Amino acid sequence: MAFHAVIPAAGVGKRFGTSVPKQYLALAGSCIQTHTLDRLSAMPELSRLVVAISAEDHQAHELPYAQPQRLQFVHGGCERMDSVLAGLNALQTQGAAPSDWVLVHDVARPLVRPADIRQLMSALKEDPVGGILASPVRDTMKRGSTQGIVATVDREQLWHALTPQMFRLDALRQALLVAKSEAAIVTDEASAMEHLGYQPKLVEGARDNIKITFPEDLALAELLLAEQLRTGALS
């Protein structure tokens, strides 16, 4: 049994509102993508790392990665599931077993803690389904409409979905293919698995594993990264 990583990085970051994909924006002297891939490639537990990029992306290969020999780039697609499928297909081509674990991680989450990834792997390595890193919701949650608040939602069992999300290669591939064929709305890998009736597990991860989505997230990431470096959270 092996663990592999697939990193979908073919997006253009429309919500960020910049002329370049957000993964190429600067974060503490390096771009977001470099931070993310360097963290993952530093983990010997991950056998292969496949990065799915846009066919028009000529920048990804040129970045000063710490371990470029550990990275394989493939062409992704317009949707997240297309990029993840491209990564899974590449792993299959390289001889990865159907039962191998695949950890799918957002390229825009450069602050994921290696300790959390190891906890995910350790907690679920014998699980029949797999699961995701997540953090419990701590704020009061409201459901709204154009008219205002519809209801206050019980937060007791609500979680923020994070990444990596870890599933068996063949099971995840089949779940994504079914979701694609049925035009199902899936926003992450767990929702594709849920669509087939699986119940992925939740493994609590650090709250600083934020996804850089809006401009203000970049400033927050700078502060969180500095704190991680100060406290030695990168080991």
- Residue 140, class by beta-carbon neighbours within 10 Å (0-12 exposed, 13-18 middle, 19+ buried)? exposed
Q: State yes or no: pLDDT of 17 exceeds 90.
A: no
CA distance 85 to 90: 9
Q: State yes or no: pLDDT of 123 exceeds 70.
A: yes
Average pLDDT over residues 204-212: 97
Locate the domains of the chain by residue range: 3-231
Global pTM value: 0.95
What class is the 3-231 domain?
Answer: alpha beta
How is residue 21 annotated by DSSP?
Answer: -
Percentage above 90 pLDDT, the chain: 92
Average pLDDT over residues 188-201: 98
CA distance 111 to 109: 6
Token pair for 211: 């996804």
Token pair for 140: 């009061």
How confident is residue 24, by pLDDT bands cut at 50, 70 and 90?
A: very high
Average pLDDT over residues 148-165: 95
Which residue do the tokens 């360097």 mark? 38
CA distance 70 to 66: 9
Which tens digits make up the pLDDT trace of 101-113? 999 999 999 999 9
How confident is residue 20, by pLDDT bands cut at 50, 70 and 90?
A: confident
Which tens digits make up the pLDDT trace of 25-74? 999 999 999 999 999 999 999 999 999 999 999 999 999 999 999 999 99
Which tens digits make up the pLDDT trace of 67-79? 999 999 999 999 9
CA distance 75 to 151: 43
